[in-house]
Amino acid sequence: MHIVPEARIAELVTAEAAFTAVESVFAAMASGAAYNFPVVREALGHEDALYGFKGGFDRSGGALGLKAGGYWPHNLERRGLINHQSTVFLFDPDTGRPTAMVGGNLLTALRTAAASSVSIRHLARPDARVLGIIGAGHQSHFQLRAAAAQRPFDKVIAWNYHPEMLPRLGETATALGLPFEAVSLERLGAEADVIITITSAFSPSLMDAHVRPGTHLACMGTDTRGKQEVEATLLARATVFTDEIAQSTSLGEAQHAIAQGLITQDAITPIGAVINGTHAGRTSEGQITLFDGTGVGLQDLAVAQAAVAAAIAQGIAIEVSV
Ligand code: NAD
């Protein structure tokens, strides 16, 4: 089997490669060629850690495996390590033999940013020029870089619950050659053509009334029961897409609109159906489209596969016998 260490991922997987891998696995999920296994997530009762597994099988792409990992809240203060830790394990679907062990931390950010950028490519108005971001944490920088490749944006505007974090996001925008402005939520909703939400909030920041017709939203932060970034009534006004319907309705942004009876599961479309051309996606200029990106194991396997292929091609993969 091959080992690809975390430290080598940055030189092996570009945002473009992550985009291609995630777009094709979303398509495979929608066509029935790929499926995710039930997610396991446990509070360990040790170091206050949350640990779990996200796995799946993509028959068309040949990816079988899982991402194991979670959240260790004291890593940074006690050990100087990042709090989110994960590793991807791949297996040969013909034999069950392990084929690869791949550092999963950077891959998680790349595959999450790829998911929202896939939604922007397929659902945002072609003339979108103002990118709005709600959130300024670790993931927001990857989100901004991936989104910037999808439309010729001429400006980035952003809001964050902790405003002191925004200047760093501004530096990422500047590095991309994009003017950046910290704005109120009212201005963000009134001016942005595309809005990415990437926070760990448990109550909505962006309200229905903030959002103007024609906007595309990629709601990426809500990946757990109870989390929420946008007002539930917005999902009733929008055409809702997701990576996986079962996650969207139970732990994604749609969980609240479903629980309040504002929408039904039938109103939510897998983004892969748009990629495959079996759903029209955006059909009018004034339509609000909303992608509920919950994060699935198959995304991790897809980008890990890309990392292994690049590592073998470049002679970076460490080969071991097991
Ligand atoms: P982070 O801790 O680096 O940043 C957290 C962000 O949330 C910051 O912008 C912070 O200001 C904001 N925030 C904190 N409390 C808030 C509140 N009460 N109201 C509004 N905003 C608040 O985290 P990160 O690594 O950037 O991750 C952001 C979110 O994305 C997390 O919820 C994480 O679980 C989620 N995530 C989702 C996926 C996916 O596939 N959908 C993948 C990775 C991470």
> Which tokens belong to 32?
């029935």
How many beta carbons lie within 10 A of that of residue 79, not counting itself?
Answer: 9
CATH number for 52: 3.30.1780.10
Predicted confidence band at 106 (pLDDT cuts at 50, 70, 90)?
very high
| pLDDT tens track for 8-48 | 999 999 999 999 999 999 999 999 999 999 999 999 999 99
**Shortest-distance atom of ligand 1 to CA 293:** 41
Percent of the chain with pLDDT over 70: 100
Determine whether 155 is an active site residue.
no
Q: To test ligand 1's pocket by mutation, which of 198, 205, 217 has the most ligand atoms within 8 angstroms of CB?
A: 198
| pLDDT tens track for 223-248 | 999 999 999 999 999 999 999 999 99
Give domain status of residue 116, yes or no.
no
Whose C-alpha lies nearest to ligand 1, atom 28? 199
Give domain status of residue 115, yes or no.
no
Give domain status of residue 234, yes or no.
yes
| Judgement on whether residues 15 and 139 belong to the same structural domain of the protein | no
- Computed over every residue of the chain, the mean pLDDT equals 97
How many beta carbons lie within 10 A of that of residue 141, not counting itself?
Answer: 20
Number of domains in the chain: 2
| pLDDT tens track for 250-290 | 999 999 999 999 999 999 999 999 999 999 999 999 999 99
Whose C-alpha lies nearest to ligand 1, atom 27? 139
Three-class SS state of 11: helix
Whose C-alpha lies nearest to ligand 1, atom 37? 221
Give domain status of residue 117, yes or no.
no
| Judgement on whether residues 159 and 278 belong to the same structural domain of the protein | yes
> Which tokens belong to 154?
């001429």
Identify the residues whose C-beta falls under 6 Å from ligand 1. Answer: 108, 112, 135-140, 160-162, 165, 198-201, 205, 220-221, 223, 293-295
Q: Determine the distance separating the centroid of ligand 1 and the alpha carbon of 137, expressed in angstroms.
A: 6
Give domain status of residue 114, yes or no.
no
Give domain status of residue 304, yes or no.
yes
| Judgement on whether residues 93 and 137 belong to the same structural domain of the protein | no
| Judgement on whether residues 198 and 276 belong to the same structural domain of the protein | yes
CB 244 within 8 A of CB 36: yes
| Judgement on whether residues 64 and 181 belong to the same structural domain of the protein | no
| Judgement on whether residues 54 and 166 belong to the same structural domain of the protein | no
**Distance between CA atoms of residues 285 and 125, nearest Å:** 7
Q: Determine the distance separating the centroid of ligand 1 and the alpha carbon of 7, expressed in angstroms.
A: 23
**Distance between CA atoms of residues 44 and 48, nearest Å:** 7
Whose C-alpha lies nearest to ligand 1, atom 32? 200
| pTM, to two decimals | 0.97
Parent domain of 45: 2-108+298-319
Whose C-alpha lies nearest to ligand 1, atom 33? 221
**Shortest-distance atom of ligand 1 to CA 296:** 40
Q: Determine the distance separating the centroid of ligand 1 and the alpha carbon of 10, expressed in angstroms.
A: 22
| Judgement on whether residues 284 and 165 belong to the same structural domain of the protein | yes
| Judgement on whether residues 65 and 152 belong to the same structural domain of the protein | no
